[in-house]
Amino acid sequence: MMRRLLPASLILLMIMSGALTAGEALKPADFLPAKLVPATNNSLSDGQGGSWQFDNSGAIDGNTFNNLNMMIIDQRSQFNAQAQAQQSADGSELVLTSVVQSGNGNGGVTIIRRARSMPKAGAVRWVDIVHNTGTAPVSTTLTYRSYFNWGGLQLVGENGPFVPGPLAAKDGAVVVLAQANGGGRDIVLGLCSPRSKLKPTVMVNNNQVMVSWTLTIPAGRAVALVHCMSERPSGVATPATLRGVLKPWRQAAFVADLAPGLRHLIANTGGAGGTAPGSDDAGLASAIPEALVEARGDDSDLLALGAGTRLRGDAASGDLAVTVAEQRHRIPWNEVMALAGGAAPRVFLRDGAVLTGVDPEAACTFALATGQTISLNAARVGWLLRRPQAGEGLPPGEVLVETADHQRLVGRPGSSRLHCAMVWGSLELRLEDIAILAPAESGGSQISLRDGSHFTAFCSGGTIAIETRLTGTRRIDMASVIGLIGERKASADETREPEIQRAPWLQLIGGQVLAGTIDLPELHLRLEGNRLPVPPAQIRRLTNLIDEVEGWQPRQPRVRLELWTGDVIEGLIEEVLIPMRSAGGRLLVPASDLIEAQVPTPVIAPATRARIAELVALLGERDWAKREAAVKSLVHLGEVVRLDVDEALRTATDPEIKARLEQVMQELK
């Protein structure tokens, strides 16, 4: 087991406001099933042939895994129930409770684990509730560990190959593939909504999968995480099949049995209010109260006045006068998604922009279904939410920049570049390279790039410029930027898999992942007194063999190289510093900071490609011995032949050649 705990890129959640308002008491009814009795049956089933025993830690054991979903608190204490397990009256749900010390020593937290058989949805569902019972905020890390009965685990994400680190932007689930030739079943783990703002870090170490969350919870408040699993026949990881598995997990019915108070505490869905892990509900701008978003209808506008008045009808107004950077602009009413009143009114636009400087005297009317009309101005409106329209959201080719003065600006990026300083060097990034930029827990910015990279850096660069549709060119001091969402590609490109799935990538210490290559002609390994040069292009996978007992990491670490030829090499890296080239520049990385590197597609030399073509042609020889020899030679070359053989298989018309090519592909598996 890996005992060295890397400073992982975990996600910070500040539950500073939510469904429960300050001072509101938390009630047991919000956390627990309506009726509980002492547990007499600790078995759980997913309704798909999987049946397991639920133990006192809230984990389950099966034929191919042990302690699946075991919770570790603050990387030191295992969750264990402090009383007998209880169950719901119908026996479908088990409940465990434990009181533990918080991560920062400010007090205690009560953790309740609920596990329920959901046969109609084809899953077992966990609801883990963390309640801060102390008088000060607490920070705690929850790591869910699952142990499988074989090593070298292979995982895939919801939209393609799995990349260790924070869960990919459009992923809400991972699949642990069945052991090759083991006759087992795939394990599907539903972790969160693909659009959740809170996502876990997922790491793999030999036979172990680790899913980590970091939560900061104010005094007296609670947060809940919902996740689920199922065993399915091998092959479920194909996108179409997996979508069918996940669909019932992403409907409101999946959490409909939970009390409303608990549904509003769920943090890893698309938003509060009871959508399940993986919900596709996009929601509106996060500054709009969730309760109002839920109350807004599809065929009417909503006017909120005071704490309890909610009216539906039709809002009307002329263009809104808005002062931006000392210039007065007019916002067409059909561009307005919401209006927040008060002394300093704000307008929320349908493209995601949020502007302050609304004229408080701007007039609007609200016509009720009864025929009555209310006349208002922007200062007295409370909240006004307009009915949804097609095409809401960030337009293709534009970016959204959030600033410290609570404005969100949307427009086309200029030629600005961000200077991003990292511990290994600096990168110069174009705005169009960036998918998401957000504040990092430890300072600086957490950055996700369109090529799949995600890392922490300190950004500078003077000013950035964007061309907005309604307020002209805006120049923004980088020091005032607190977040950025990069341009969305046109719909035809949205189905493409992330570049990092095809391009080489490296995982560095701290959960940093960069699409890029080792910028050396050769790496050199020392083994048993020998010095062995290895071109990086020949490496399929590099794994840092971190000491599993003490976590000690030398300057020249021991690594394992899996080559595209099928060969495996273990030895000490001779290079102390390894240059790597990524989007925006070149970094110099200590060898001890390199955790893993992969080249998903082999780099094939022209001579090798010519040899592959020659062997493929021999598959059609009249001489049986030559055909057999060609098959063996192709298999001996290893994974480097896969793409060429696959292409030949698609175009082959001769039944004998096609059968031989299929034989090669089968043996490569």
Number of domains in the chain: 5
| pLDDT > 60? residue 11 | no
- Looking at the structure, tell me whether residues 16 and 56 fall in a common domain: yes
- Looking at the structure, tell me whether residues 588 and 645 fall in a common domain: no
439 vs 173, residue with greater confidence = 173
| pLDDT > 50? residue 170 | yes
Question: In this predicted structure, what is the pLDDT of residue 587?
Answer: 94
Residue 86 and residue 88: Cα distance in Å, rounded? 7
- Looking at the structure, tell me whether residues 590 and 530 fall in a common domain: yes
2 vs 378, residue with greater confidence = 378
DSSP readout, 559-606?
Answer: EEEEETTS-EEEEEE--SEEEEEETTEEEEEEGGGEEEEE-SS----H
- The 3-class SS string of 186-205 reads EEEEECCCCCCCCCCEEEEE
User: Which H or E run includes 93?
Assistant: strand 93-101
| pLDDT > 90? residue 20 | no
3-class DSSP state of 72: strand
Nearest Cα residue to 161 out of 120, 202, 121: 202
| pLDDT > 70? residue 588 | yes
The verdict on residue 179 lying in a domain is no
Question: In this predicted structure, what is the pLDDT of residue 313?
Answer: 92
Choice among 6-10, 200-204, 469-473, 595-599 with the minimum mean pLDDT: 6-10
- Looking at the structure, tell me whether residues 142 and 16 fall in a common domain: yes
Question: In this predicted structure, what is the pLDDT of residue 554?
Answer: 63
Confidence of residue 509 (pLDDT cuts 50, 70, 90): confident
Choice among 235-239, 333-337, 480-484 with the minimum mean pLDDT: 235-239
- Looking at the structure, tell me whether residues 327 and 304 fall in a common domain: yes
CA distances to 66, 224, 477 from 277, in Å: 24, 12, 37
The verdict on residue 186 lying in a domain is no
Q: Any residues with CB less than 8 A from the CB of 170 and at least 6 apart, and which? A: 158, 159, 194
The verdict on residue 549 lying in a domain is yes
252 vs 328, residue with greater confidence = 328
- Looking at the structure, tell me whether residues 577 and 616 fall in a common domain: no
Question: In this predicted structure, what is the pLDDT of residue 316?
Answer: 94
Average pLDDT estimate for 88-99: 84
Count of positions (residues) in the chain: 669
- Looking at the structure, tell me whether residues 85 and 51 fall in a common domain: yes
Edge-to-edge order in the sheet of strand 155-157:
36-38, 86-88, 93-101, 108-118, 123-132, 222-233, 185-190, 173-176, 155-157, 160-161
Q: Any residues with CB less than 8 A from the CB of 430 and at least 6 apart, and which? A: 413, 415, 416, 417, 584
In our burial notation (b when 16+ CB lie closer than 10 A, e otherwise), range 82-119 reads: eeebbbbeeebbbbbbbebbbbeebeebbbbbbbbbbe
The verdict on residue 235 lying in a domain is no
DSSP readout, 465-516?
Answer: EEEETTTEEEEEEGGGEEEEEPPBPPGGGTTSPPGGGTS-EEEETTTEEEEE
Q: Are 664 and 634 a contacting pair, CB within 8 Å? A: yes
Mean pLDDT rounded to a whole number for the chain: 79
Question: In this predicted structure, what is the pLDDT of residue 636?
Answer: 83
61 vs 356, residue with greater confidence = 356
- Looking at the structure, tell me whether residues 40 and 142 fall in a common domain: yes
| pLDDT > 80? residue 552 | no
- Looking at the structure, tell me whether residues 589 and 525 fall in a common domain: yes
Residue 274 falls in which region: left (phi positive, over 0), alpha (psi -120 to 50) or beta = left
- Looking at the structure, tell me whether residues 553 and 460 fall in a common domain: no
% of residues, the chain, pLDDT over 70 = 86
- Looking at the structure, tell me whether residues 86 and 214 fall in a common domain: yes
The verdict on residue 274 lying in a domain is no
Question: In this predicted structure, what is the pLDDT of residue 76?
Answer: 65
Burial grade of 560 (CB within 10 A; 0-12, 13-18, 19 or more) = middle
Average pLDDT estimate for 539-554: 65
Confidence of residue 575 (pLDDT cuts 50, 70, 90): very high
Which residue range forms the structural domain that includes residue 649? Answer: 606-668
The verdict on residue 153 lying in a domain is no
| pLDDT > 70? residue 196 | yes
The verdict on residue 187 lying in a domain is no
Q: What is the pLDDT of residues 199-224, one digit of tens each?
A: 888 988 888 898 988 777 777 788 88
The verdict on residue 143 lying in a domain is yes
- Looking at the structure, tell me whether residues 314 and 457 fall in a common domain: no
Both ends of the chain: CA-CA distance in Å? 27
